[in-house]
Chains A and B, each alone.
Chain A
Amino acid sequence: MTPVILGVVAIPLLVAAHDMIRRPVLRRQAVRNVVRRPSESLIMIGGALLGTAIITASFIIGDTFDGSIRDIARTNLGPIDEVVVTDDRSTAQQIAADLAADPIEGTDGVLVAVGADVTISTVDSGQGVRAEPSAAAFELDFDSARSFGQDPTITGFSELGGTPGPGQATVSRPLATTLGVTTGDSLVVHAYGITRTVEVIAVANRLGVAGRTTDNVHLIPGTLDAMWQEAGNADLPMPTGFVYISNEGGVFDSVDNSEAVLSALSARLAMSPGVDSINDWKADLLRDAEAEGTELTTIFSSIGSFAVLSGILLVVNIVVMLTDERRSQLGIMRALGVRRSQVVRIMGLEGTFYAIASTAAGVSLGIGVGWIVGYFSNTVVQNDGLSLSFQFETSSLVTAGAIGLLVTLATVWLSSIRLARMNVISAIRDLPSPQGVGRSWLRDLAGLGAAALGAFLLYLGVTEDSAMAAMTGVPILAVGLIPTARRLVGWKAATSLAGLGAVIWGIAVFTVLPDAMRNPEINIFVLQGVVLVTGSVMALTANEALWRRIIDLSGRGRAGVPIRLGMTYPLARPGRTGLLVAMYSLVLFTISFMAIITAVFDEQGPAIVDQTSAGFDIIVDSNRTNPVDETELNSIDGVSATAALNRIWLDVVAPGSDQTLPVTGIDESFLTFGGPELQSMDPRYVDADDLWRAVISDSSKVVVGEFTFGDDADEVLSVGDELTIFSDVGAGRQRVTVAAVLQNDWMYNGVLTGAASVDALVDGSVIPTRFYVSTAAGLDPGDFAARLNGELLSNGAEARSFLAEVSEELDGSSAFIRILQAYLGIGLLIGVAGLGIVLVRAVRERRREIGMLRAIGFTSTTIRRAFLVEALFIAGQGAILGVGLGIVTGWQVVTQADAFDTGASSLVIPKLLMAGILFGPIVASLMAAALPAKRAAEIAPAVALRVTG
């Protein structure tokens, strides 16, 4: 991509460079143009740099996410490429020995480790205890770890000394920071209900193998097995064995081999007993990183594309304005024998200066914007455990700069060529260019082609459930039919119908094609915005007569003159006006729609809690190795009821999807308050209670969330769907039928089934790691959850009220949406600036007319008002259109189609915010118009009338 853009950009740059060096006349003229009016040159550069800045920032945000996630490969994996997870230490050792004896091609090291989920706390010295409930303990030989792979520096062990002895441990730096401990301090390791106190002999940097899972301790091998044996509970899983495999190469380049190594590993180990899973963790992580980075680049650049469009429009306006002013100058040059192509090249050369300057400035500004977005995104993603470090690739800057340069250069050259070719007569008389009658068949043909494309897209939308195709199919079809339809019903009717059709489709598609439009991505709304806004602007423009009627009604009498002038001028320039209106409404549509969706979601907090909490107040998760004891939990003062959930991760296969998902076993206690809310259930059951009891007793019946498989499955899950749950032990596999679908699975229990069925699946008794807790009346769930955390510290318990859990998640997505809204705001800023420029230009263009109006008796106030009305007319149209479409779409999506699965039945309009979104831009536009309006009012008639046309 980038080389292509660079290649295209090179052409005008070479022309410019040639002219610069070999054509002193052109150079002198171009340089003079730049220098003579520095403020206009600055406006030009300012207009052009914004688009580049947005593009750059989008890339940088993607890079920051990509790089930050990729960096986990360095900090948490190092030389580890593939991992064989085994049920115990001895299996791992056996596999490692085999692999060492007969290495897989492309690998250069094998390392055995044992690990377990543990809670780590400080020793109680009277000042309270600090604890990390979700830490990991590992055991491995430090010398082997150092020589694992080819580069000791990436293992994380190169500076760590020897393996900890009895009663000793190394602790990872993040955990040491959380707990406030350092070398020499003591820590308590809690696992299997057993505790061990160890002394910290070193703090390990989060790096490579030593950084695994971020929060960890390393113990002398054998400690965890001993603790497990001491617990004497065979139901608890033994410490896990890991066989780490390093491919040839460093941290990042080694993944090239991953696919081959993974399949070789699978071939060798697939049927081996005791092997839990064979993974390519690093390749997986890097894939995720790239996907995430690309997705964010896409989100921000599609949101930013409005700003880029606005920027282009701004540049076009400025170029036209500058050249208009120089028309007489150009005319004289032409008269003096300068050829038209040279005129173009002077403007092109001048534009190249602007383009280069604005690209440099735009890229720099983009870095700043990217940093700011990254900073705020970091506060959002920290909840998910990711920490963003601002970074970007030089290639991103080059690509963004090249795109920005290309856009600016193309704009400058095209408008220069257009202006140089412009028919002088029609330019002066301001006639619309005549329609090419002779080539109308060509237009018909192109239209029919577009119509066919639209029909094909619609077909794809229906058959493939493609949201993008579904959204654009009908509008493209409608627009494509305009040239043909105008023969039948006339241009006005054809265009209005196509425009209205596009608008109606853009809104109704969520109901008409619910499957294609379910859980749409943000890009779809950008696309929808384009469809709705283009449609409405088309319809509005075609029905210009409607506005004239309004003008006739409101533009009466003396007071009406500013209204008539303020509206007639923009109506006479439908292209320019339509673009401005579209610019405003696109941005405002997206902002207001997002505001509504956020408000609807936020409002849903309590409802979601009701649906998902099954009547309980608090959810408690604990380590698998160190679970909370239900009797102990029940004995805590303030706990009125509990339900234990046996939640384990298993391979679940649905049509079109195969994922590792939670499978959660429940018992009668889960139904104490009636169970969670169901969206739909098999009609063979009399009521929900009947159904739940069937699920608990019948191992072939399950309850799932609609989106348990995310976007991965062919379709969302519904009653009657068949799934297969795989397990490596026991029954091995279980075919199950969906008996009911949850209203939502906010707590991510995945596949709900009977506790006994889960036990049967793994051929043992699964220890519950999740509890739903109901508090005694009068207790605040939030406070009580904090108390539980203290009491159940050694179990690694994480107790949170359902409300807190839900709100935090909602707040997180609201915060992200606010970042996007702010990003959109940049586009709005450019829109306002664009309107300002258009008006400044209008004042210049209309000097003589203004002089004449002043001469025949209109006051300067009338003139000023006319300009303010013009700004109000454009910005107001855009704002009302944008916000109106946003509200209608919000209403449709939330109450009619429920595309977001909010469960909300009524629209929530955040009134104050929406008023701000509606009036803010209007006020800003009036402010931007104030200066040109004042200039217009100050025009002295006698001087203005002297200006020759």
Chain B
Amino acid sequence: MAVTRYALTSDPSVSVEVVSASLACCTLEVQAALNSGALIQVPESDAGPSVIVIAGTVTDALVPSVIELIHAHPGSKVMSFGACATSGGPYWDSPPVSKGIDQFVEVAAYVAGCPPRPDAFIQAIQELLSKRVS
């Protein structure tokens, strides 16, 4: 699992650790956002918040792994990136797909879209940072 610390290019004094769970296509938009120039990679440190990005379809079979990942990063904020993670999205009627990760974990930010655009990811990070997530 890639864990990297990023700062906003516009305000390098605030940084956030991004743990990205790449479960389906949405993750490409997360990667695009991380490499868009709006965020810069900074050295690892323990200071500052951490965000776990759940990007993609969460099947019932995957739920235990997602919970495990979140528990492995105590204190992290969870971002539900895209319609699948939030509600099942295009798979809302599919029996093996969970109907939203907020059924089993607390979600700090929901990002709408299928997929959301990379700008939406940056916006979500900015909002989480301005709330000074701890």
Chains A and B bind each other: no
- Residues on A facing B (Cβ under 8 Å): none
